[in-house]
Amino acid sequence: MSAQVCEELLVAVGRNRDRDAFAALFAHFAPRLKTYLVRIGAGGEMADEVVQEAMLVVWRRAETFDPSQASASTWIFTIARNKRIDALRRVRRPQIDPEDPALVPDAPKAADEAMADSQRADAVKRVLTTLPEEQASLLRQAYFEDKSHSTIAAESDLPLGTVKSRIRLALDKLRQGLQKESI
């Protein structure tokens, strides 16, 4: 499903409480969220439970989704990430409060950064498939296996500097791919 379609469905859920749109989002994201949660360490039943909780949050907060800030898949990823931290660590993930008067606000977006987030999301997805397996697997460890840079280093018996430079290679490759996409 393209990022544009996901965005339209999510906006329809937010604006019109559209249950069909929600079911379509569920059909696409729930099985992928399950893969994410199982790989990151939630057992089968618990994974289904967290998928359910995350999709309920998607329904309840859909009206706060802002397509100019993030793509639908990114927004749903952050919800699932927070839900599984709450569920597995039994603590709240520390995060900023956008309404906090002490928060230093963003500068207005520059015109050359105005590429739509949904377009960007599709581009990132396409470029991801072109990464060499070794680099893609490193990114999956970082995002899908709850491994910080220092944990990856400790487990693979590599110096932290080596892990960092390998991840940097992967990011460089992504960036080059994205540059080509935007020409």
Angstrom distance (rounded) from CA 7 to CA 179: 23
Secondary structure percentages of the chain, helix, strand, coil, to 5: 70, 0, 30
By CB under 8 A, the residues from 10 to 29 that bind another protein are 19, 22-23, 26-27, 29
Nearest distance from C-beta of residue 108 to another protein, angstroms = 11
The amino acid sitting at 174 is L
The amino acid sitting at 156 is S
8-state DSSP, 168: H
By CB under 8 A, the residues from 93 to 122 that bind another protein are 93-97, 100-107, 112-113, 117, 120-121
One of 89, 132, 134, 156 touching another protein (CB under 8 A): 89
One of 16, 41, 60, 156 touching another protein (CB under 8 A): 60
By CB under 8 A, the residues from 151 to 180 that bind another protein are 151, 154, 159-161, 164-165, 167-168, 171-172, 174-175, 178-179
Spatial CB neighbours of 164, under 8 Å, sequence gap ≥ 6 = 149
